Amino acid sequence: MFNFKKPRHKLHIADENDLRLSDLKPGEKGRIVEIGGSENFRHRLIEMGITRDAEICVDKYAPLRDPMELIVKGYHLSLRGMDAQKICVERIA
Amino acid sequence: MNFNIAIAGNPNCGKTTIFNALTGARQRVGNWPGVTVEKKSGQYNYSDIRFDVIDLPGTYSLAAFSAEETVVRHYLEQDEAQVVVNIIDASNLERNLFLTTQLIELGKPLVIVLNMMDMAHEKGLQIDADTLATLLGAPVVPVVGRTGEGMDLLKEKILRVSTEISMKSRFIDISYPRDIEIEIEKLTHLIKRDDESHKQSRWTSIKLLESDKQTRDEVRIHPDGADILKQAKNSIERIELIFKDTGRAIISHARYGFIQGALRECVVESLVDSVDYSRKIDRLITNRWLGLPIFGLFMWLMFKLTYDLGSIPMDWIDAGLISLMNFISALMPESMFASLLVDGVIGGVGAIAVFLPNIFILFFIIAVLEDSGYMARVAFIMDRVMHNIGLHGKAFIPMIMGFGCNVPAIMGTRILESRRDRILTVLINPFMSCSARLPVYVLVAGAFFPDNAATVIFSMYVLGIVAAIASGKLFSRTILKGMSKPFVLELPPYQRPTLRSLILHTWERGYLFIQKMGTVILVGSVIIWVLGYFPRDVQVERDYQKERMELVEDYDYQMINLGTKFNKSVQKDRQEYHSEMIAYESSSSYQELHHQFQQLQDDLQNKEALELYRLRQQEIGDITEQKWIGRVGKIFEPIVRPLGFTWRESVALITGFVAKEIVVSTYGVLFGVGEDIDEGSQGVISGLRSSGMTPLVALSFLVFTLLYTPCLATVAAIKRETGTWAYTIFSIAYSLGLAYLLAFGVTYFGGMFNWLS
* Mean pLDDT of the region A16-36: 90
Is A92's pLDDT higher than 70? yes
Choose among A1, A8, A79: nearest Cβ to B220: A1
B534-567 pLDDT, tens digit per residue, is 888 888 888 888 999 999 999 999 999 999 998 8
Beta strand pairing call for B488-490 and B140-142: unpaired
pLDDT band at B391 (very low <50, low <70, confident <90, very high): confident
Residue B249 and residue A45: Cβ atoms within 8 Å? Answer: no
Which residues are CB-neighbours of B618 under 8 A, at least 6 positions away?
A: B542, B544, B672
Concatenating the DSSP letter of every residue in A13-70 gives PPPTTS-BGGGPPTT-EEEEEEE-S-HHHHHHHHHTT--TT-EEEEEEE-TTS-SEEE
Mean pLDDT over the full length of chain B: 85
Which chain B positions have a beta carbon within 8 Å of A83's beta carbon? 486-488
| A59 in contact with chain B, both atoms CB, cutoff 8 A | yes
Which residues are CB-neighbours of B97 under 8 A, at least 6 positions away?
A: B88, B259, B262, B263
Higher pLDDT, B692 or B683: B692
ipTM of the prediction: 0.87
> Which residues share a beta bridge with B112?
B86, B140
Residue B384 and residue A65: Cβ atoms within 8 Å? Answer: yes
Choose among B226, B248, B491: nearest Cβ to A77: B491
* Mean pLDDT of the region B582-589: 74
The CATH number given to B178-269 is 1.10.287.1770
* Residue B475 confidence (pLDDT): 92
Give the CATH class of B2-168.
Answer: alpha beta
B409-464 pLDDT, tens digit per residue, is 888 787 787 788 889 999 999 999 887 888 788 888 888 998 888 889 889 988 99
* Residue B674 confidence (pLDDT): 53
B67-119 pLDDT, tens digit per residue, is 788 889 989 988 888 999 999 999 999 999 999 999 999 888 999 999 999 98
Which chain A positions have a beta carbon within 8 Å of B248's beta carbon? 39, 43
Which residues are CB-neighbours of B61 under 8 A, at least 6 positions away?
A: A47, B69, B98, B99, B102
Cβ atoms of A88 and A14 closer than 8 Å: yes
* Mean pLDDT of the region B174-196: 85
CA–CA distance, B718 with B713 (Å, rounded to integer): 9
| A75 in contact with chain B, both atoms CB, cutoff 8 A | yes
Cβ atoms of B377 and B282 closer than 8 Å: yes
* Residue B213 confidence (pLDDT): 87
* Mean pLDDT of the region B270-283: 79
Which chain A positions have a beta carbon within 8 Å of B383's beta carbon? 62, 66-67, 78, 80
Residue type, B720: R
Query: Nearest CA of chain B to the CA of A18: how many Å?
Result: 19
DSSP class of residue B430? G
* Residue B672 confidence (pLDDT): 59
Residue B226 and residue A1: Cβ atoms within 8 Å? Answer: yes
A31-55 pLDDT, tens digit per residue, is 999 898 888 889 889 999 999 899 9
Give the CATH class of A21-92.
Answer: mainly beta
B114-123 pLDDT, tens digit per residue, is 999 998 988 8
Which chain A positions have a beta carbon within 8 Å of B384's beta carbon? 62, 64-67
Torsional sign, CA B209, B212, B213, B218: negative
Higher pLDDT, B223 or B376: B376
pLDDT band at B170 (very low <50, low <70, confident <90, very high): low
One-letter-per-residue 3-state SS of B200-253? HHHHHHHHHHCCCHHHHHHHHCCCCHHHHHHHHHHHHHHHHHHHCCCHHHHHHH
* Residue B157 confidence (pLDDT): 93
| Nearest CA-CA partner of B540 in B619, B466, B603, B454 | B619
Is B661's pLDDT higher than 80? no
Q: Which residue of A has its CA nearest to B242?
A: A9
A6 conformational bin, left if phi > 0, alpha if psi -120 to 50, beta if neither: beta
Residue B61 and residue A47: Cβ atoms within 8 Å? Answer: yes
* Mean pLDDT of the region B230-242: 92
Helix axes B356-372, B499-533, angle to 10 degrees: 150
| A6 in contact with chain B, both atoms CB, cutoff 8 A | no
Query: Nearest CA of chain A to the CA of B125: how many Å?
Result: 12
Choose among B94, B244, B488: nearest Cβ to A9: B244
CA–CA distance, B292 with B286 (Å, rounded to integer): 8
Residue B92 and residue A74: Cβ atoms within 8 Å? Answer: yes
Is B134's pLDDT higher than 50? yes
CA–CA distance, B310 with B320 (Å, rounded to integer): 15
Which chain A positions have a beta carbon within 8 Å of B256's beta carbon? 46, 49, 51
* Mean pLDDT of the region B368-374: 88
CA–CA distance, A42 with B643 (Å, rounded to integer): 53
Query: Nearest CA of chain A to the CA of B397: how many Å?
Result: 17
Domain map of chain B by residue range?
Answer: 2-168, 178-269, 275-535+627-757, 544-626
Q: Which residue of B has its CA nearest to A62?
A: B381
* Residue B679 confidence (pLDDT): 47
| A27 in contact with chain B, both atoms CB, cutoff 8 A | no
| Nearest CA-CA partner of B321 in B294, B296, B337, B345 | B345
Lowest-pLDDT range of A21-30, A60-69, B137-146, B309-318: B309-318
Phi and psi, residue B115, nearest 5°: -90, 165
Which chain B positions have a beta carbon within 8 Å of A76's beta carbon? 278-279, 282, 490-493
Cβ atoms of B629 and B538 closer than 8 Å: no
